[in-house]
Structure 1
Amino acid sequence: MAFTETSNVFDQDTMASVETKEVSHTEGDAAAATAQQLSAAQRARIERNRLLARQRREARLVQRPTEARAAPPPADSGGGFLLDEPAPAPPPRARAPPAPIQDPAERPSCLDCEQRFPQSYLFDTFGYNVCDECRDDDGAHELITRTEAKNTYLLKDCDLDLRPPLLRFVRRRNPHGSRLGDMRLYLRAQVEARAHEAWGSAEELQAERSRREEARARSKHTATARRLRALRMDVRSSLFAAKRATHEHEFGAEQYDADRDQYSRTCACGHVETYEKM
């Protein structure tokens, strides 16, 4: 019996130990599962943030591909925000001058000397067939501004920009300041030819100039006459006011009106004063 009781006690202790180990193992598995579940959630959140950041970066690259590749990092505004600064515009590339025409049969003939030439400034820049030897910068080959072309040859913007063939021009820096923009310089010979085309002939252009000069002279004469008339009126008004301010009436003999029982006297300036006597 003692042996049996001892065996039962031993079996109970063994079972209790086994149950304790099973409980401990179950709690360890639950903690490991919980830790594994939290790690997966964290990994999912990290992956989601990474994809969102990648999408934003790709969107910026699509909007500003050149800026994203070459621009420096955005500047800090001082409040913790990053400011996107626009990339500066690239400078215009200088156009290389065209090569000389090698085939003599295809070379243009100069309008002045009638000699064929392979290359010239007026031909390359304005398409005007004049060689460099016959170029006259003070005459028909002078470069004039757009304003002078419109005022001197009575042209409109459409005549310079829309009427075919389009007139060529060169750009020069404005001497009055960079804020005014570059100047457009046209070839005088081409502008004069365009004016003859717009007005029909050189005679029609000259007639229109004469009409405008006469209209300008009449307008100037009318404005001058109006100013002179206003000046004369001002002088007369000031003289009349001064005369009235300094005039003293000199009345003649008084006259009695029996019907009205009134007296009156007249000044040399025409003023009549009427009064009664008590």
Structure 2
Amino acid sequence: MEQQEVFTTEQLLRILEGTEDDEFSESLDEDDLEMTAVESSDVPHLEVEKAEHTSTAAELSAAQRARIERNRLRARQLRDARLVARPNNREPITAPIAATDSGGGFIPEVEESSLPVRAVPPPAPIVDPTERPQCLECDQLFPESYLFDTFGYNVCDECRDDDGAHALITRTEAKNSFLLKDCDLDLRPPALRFVRRRNPHGSRLGDMRLYLRAQVEARARLVWGSDEALEEERARREEARVRARHTQTSRRLRALRMDVRSSLFDKSRALHEHAFGEEKYDEATDLYSRSCACGHTETYEKM
């Protein structure tokens, strides 16, 4: 006859307390489940036979408690690992990235609703007819206009030409096209007024400063004297730019020939020593001059 396993009430309660985790119930062995499945009606019968099997019950209960403790700790570790990996079943919500309209490199049209609220209210219309400005295009008096309020330019809204003389140009274009400097735009009185717009090439760049073309043209005529002088300066700078580009290209080609045909290149030919002729004296300027066969002329004064 097989020996019957005996448990006390306290031992059964400890065994049942160790089975509170779901992970523990899944990880228990079949032998452990058979030993813990004891009916409550058998508790008195077990208490009666406690004296007969004291040593065997004590030995089994110690081993069983150790196994239960290991299973309980393992189940708790599994549960903690699951909670750390997935604290909740909800997936993280990410906000969609809004697309930014860059305007394709052109100056974007800013709507009135997107403009920042100005702390200073716009100027009120001029009520007195005697104080109203006169339009430079139609010679009519007007109480208010966009060009007059923004740039101080006397042109009414009916005569405004956004594609012609009243177009807005950037500060860089004003300096390059009309050969102006920063001091001509900011320091020369009166300083030109401008409006700020966001840069279409990137939000990280600074805001653009847009000037009125008609005012920039008038400032260029003031700086250079006339339109003809401005055109002459443009032609001179363009000629100097072409000459510098040609010189740089010639140097690169010469260096390339030296690299390709280095054995045939004679450095002595590249050097030139001036052979000056007889010196000449100019009584009007009290200066001496002498010329070389290459066309170089040297002018000097004798002490």
Counterpart of 2:194, as a letter, is F
Residue 200 of structure 2: aligned partner: 175
Residue 142 of structure 2: aligned partner: 117
Larger Rg: 1
Residue 233 of structure 2: aligned partner: 208
Residue 220 of structure 1: aligned partner: 245
Residue 254 of structure 2: aligned partner: 229
Residue 189 of structure 2: aligned partner: 164
Deviation at 1:104, TM superposition (A): 1.6
**Selected match of 1:133 from 158, 174, 187:** 158
Separation in 2 of the partners of 1:216 and 1:207?
14
Deviation at 1:97, TM superposition (A): 2.0
Task: Confirm or deny that 1:147 pairs with 2:172.
Answer: yes
Counterpart of 2:240, as a letter, is A
Separation in 1 of the partners of 2:117 and 2:138?
36
Deviation at 1:179, TM superposition (A): 2.5
Would you tell me which structure has more helix in proportion to its own residues?
Answer: 1
More relative contact order, 1 or 2 (CA 8 Å, 6+ apart):
2
> What residue ranges of structure 2 are gaps of 5+ in the alignment?
1-115, 266-303
Deviation at 1:202, TM superposition (A): 1.4
Separation in 2 of the partners of 1:239 and 1:215?
34
Residue 194 of structure 1: aligned partner: 219
Deviation at 1:188, TM superposition (A): 0.7
- Matched pairs, number: 150
Percent identity over paired residues: 82
Separation in 2 of the partners of 1:184 and 1:171?
5
Residue 32 of structure 1: aligned partner: none
Q: Could you say what the CA RMSD is over the residues aligned between the two structures, in angstroms?
A: 1.9
TM-score normalized by the length of structure 1 = 0.51
TM-score normalized by the length of structure 2 = 0.47
> What residue ranges of structure 1 are gaps of 5+ in the alignment?
1-90, 241-278
Separation in 1 of the partners of 2:251 and 2:157?
55
Residue 268 of structure 2: aligned partner: none
